[in-house]
């Protein structure tokens, strides 16, 4: 019988229960879930600290999953196909990945690229996919010839860790801004680590000394304002998150005096061709041994405790949820 972690209300409680597969939402593909993962958004949903769930309770959270197709009414997928699902409201307004079974629309599924296992897909998960989108956006915008340092903020988190690794592997000199262990970030490829507070206190000046040749920001708030003020001329910041704050108080000067681009990254509604491209790029660019080493595997009944931890900014790397006992 299918099993899932149910939230019984906006502030919990969370409980694991069997359920009838007729209760699964509409969709043309039913998936046997192997792994999900714990993202910052899941932490907010499970603890009730953020209004993430917009579906009726009881609700199955989990914003991503990887598994094999069990039944399909779509010509695009057949039983046994390995698939990944992220975004499109999964774990927000549609039942998500903290379950042994899920149902989705075929047009929202990505075929698992060769070179990635189901476990690795969730060791990357929404966070790794978002980091890849950010790196692709920076690549597309281009770097100046002598770009120098590329910055990643919130560097020890899920998005940040994968972004550090991808940028370093692409040959950039990566500076990681973090409140945690520099040794971990150096292992991922960071050339230098600066304390989170160096940028986190923000800036009162419209422009600072120009330093960064590109940046991936996962924390928003005063940090993002300080990053924008210290970008080199004609460079880009990929803005992905709000772990510090959703507020952004800045001036137009980085944009009109230095030609800085602020690139918004939205993994949720990312169109299918870019989705497939990003997953393919992850399969080609990620060091699989390193990926395994930055993942912690937990079980469904560990999720509430880890959800609390991730909302406190205490998680290093990625947390994979194995849904079967
Ligand atoms: N745009 C999208 O499609 C998309 C997709 C996925 C995630 N996100 C967002 O991206 C952000 C990161 O997600 P994640 O899954 O990587 O979360 P995470 O694993 O919790 O990482 C967030 C990191 O931010 C840093 N941080 C936490 N609190 C902070 C604070 N008060 N001030 C400054 N830094 C702080 C910490 O890193 P250090 O200790 O290293 O500083 C923490 O590890 C979240 O806001 C999430 O909602 C957006």
Average pLDDT over every residue of 219-248: 97
- Please, what are the domains in the chain? 3-112+294-322 (3.90.180.10), 126-264 (3.40.50.720)
Average pLDDT over every residue of 260-276: 96
Specify the length of the chain in residues: 325
Read off φ and ψ for residue 303, nearest 5 degrees.
Answer: -60, -45
Q: Tell how far the Cα of 127 is from the centroid of ligand 1, in angstroms.
A: 9
Residue 147 has what pLDDT? Answer: 78
Ligand 1 pocket check: which of 164, 188, 265, 313 to mutate, most ligand atoms within 8 Å of Cβ? Answer: 313
Residue that has been written with the tokens 């057949």 in this structure: 78
Enter the tokens of residue 156: 């020890």
Ligand 1 pocket check: which of 89, 154, 164, 177 to mutate, most ligand atoms within 8 Å of Cβ? Answer: 154
Residue that has been written with the tokens 């999953």 in this structure: 65
- Which of ligand 1's atoms lies nearest the C-alpha of 318? 19
Q: CB of 310 within 8 A of CB of 156?
A: no
Kindly report whether the peptide bond that precedes residue 228 is cis, defined as omega within 30 degrees of 0: no
Residue 145 has what pLDDT? Answer: 85
Query: Is residue 325 scored above 80 in pLDDT?
Result: no
Please indicate whether residue 306, judged by its CB atom, sits closer than 6 Å to ligand 1: no
Distance from C-alpha of 33 to C-alpha of 52, rounded to nearest angstrom: 22
- pLDDT tens, 88-137? 999 999 999 999 999 999 999 999 999 999 999 999 999 999 999 999 99
Question: Measured between alpha carbons, how far is residue 41 from residues 45, 53, 160, 174 in Å?
Answer: 6, 10, 15, 26
CB count within 10 Å of CB 204 equals 8
CB count within 10 Å of CB 117 equals 16
- Which of ligand 1's atoms lies nearest the C-alpha of 316? 43
Residue 253 binned pLDDT confidence (cut-offs 50, 70, 90):
very high
Residue 148 binned pLDDT confidence (cut-offs 50, 70, 90):
confident
Q: Tell how far the Cα of 100 is from the centroid of ligand 1, in angstroms.
A: 27
Query: Is residue 12 scored above 90 in pLDDT?
Result: no
pTM of structure: 0.96
- How do 82-86 and 110-111 pair as beta strands? antiparallel
DSSP letter assigned to residue 156: T
DSSP letter assigned to residue 106: G
Q: CB of 63 within 8 A of CB of 97?
A: yes
Query: Is residue 291 scored above 90 in pLDDT?
Result: yes
- How do 192-195 and 173-178 pair as beta strands? parallel
To the nearest whole percent, how much of the chain has pLDDT over 90? 94
- Which of ligand 1's atoms lies nearest the C-alpha of 156? 40
Distance from C-alpha of 92 to C-alpha of 97, rounded to nearest angstrom: 11
Residue 28 has what pLDDT? Answer: 97
Distance from C-alpha of 87 to C-alpha of 65, rounded to nearest angstrom: 10
Which residues, 6+ apart, have CB-to-CB distance to 55 below 8 Å? 92, 93, 94, 95
């Amino acid at each position: 019988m299918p099993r899932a972690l149910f939230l019984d209300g906006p502030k919990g409680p969370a409980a694991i229960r069997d359920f009838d597969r007729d209760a699964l939402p509409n969709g043309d593909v039913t998936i046997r879930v192997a792994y999900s993962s714990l993202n910052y958004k899941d932490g907010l949903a499970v603890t009730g600290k953020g209004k993430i769930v917009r579906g009726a309770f009881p609700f199955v959270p989990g914003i991503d999953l990887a598994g094999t197709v069990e039944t399909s009414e779509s010509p695009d997928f057949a039983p046994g196909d390995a698939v990944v699902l992220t975004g499109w409201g999964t774990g927000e307004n549609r039942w998500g990945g903290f379950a042994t079974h899920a149902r989705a629309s075929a047009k929202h599924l990505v075929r698992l690229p060769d070179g990635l296992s189901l476990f690795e897909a969730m060791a990357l998960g929404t966070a790794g996919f978002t980091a890849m989108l950010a790196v692709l956006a920076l690549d597309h915008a281009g770097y100046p010839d002598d770009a120098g340092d590329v910055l990643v903020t919130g560097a020890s988190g899920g998005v940040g860790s994968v972004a550090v690794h991808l940028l370093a592997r692409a040959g950039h000199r990566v500076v990681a801004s973090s409140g945690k262990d520099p040794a971990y970030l150096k292992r991922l490829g960071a050339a230098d680590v600066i304390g989170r507070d160096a940028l986190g206190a923000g800036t009162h000046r419209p422009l600072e000394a120009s330093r960064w040749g590109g940046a991936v920001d996962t924390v928003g708030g005063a940090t993002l304002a300080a990053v924008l003020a210290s970008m080199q001329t004609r460079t880009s910041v990929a803005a992905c998150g709000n772990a510090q704050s959703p507020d952004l108080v800045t001036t137009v000067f980085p944009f009109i005096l230095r030609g800085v681009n602020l690139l918004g990254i939205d993994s949720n509604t990312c169109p299918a061709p870019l989705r497939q491209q990003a997953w393919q790029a992850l399969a080609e660019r990620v060091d699989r041994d390193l990926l395994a080493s930055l993942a912690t595997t937990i079980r469904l009944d560990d999720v509430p405790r880890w959800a609390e931890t991730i909302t406190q900014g205490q998680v290093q790397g990625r947390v994979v949820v194995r849904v079967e006992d």
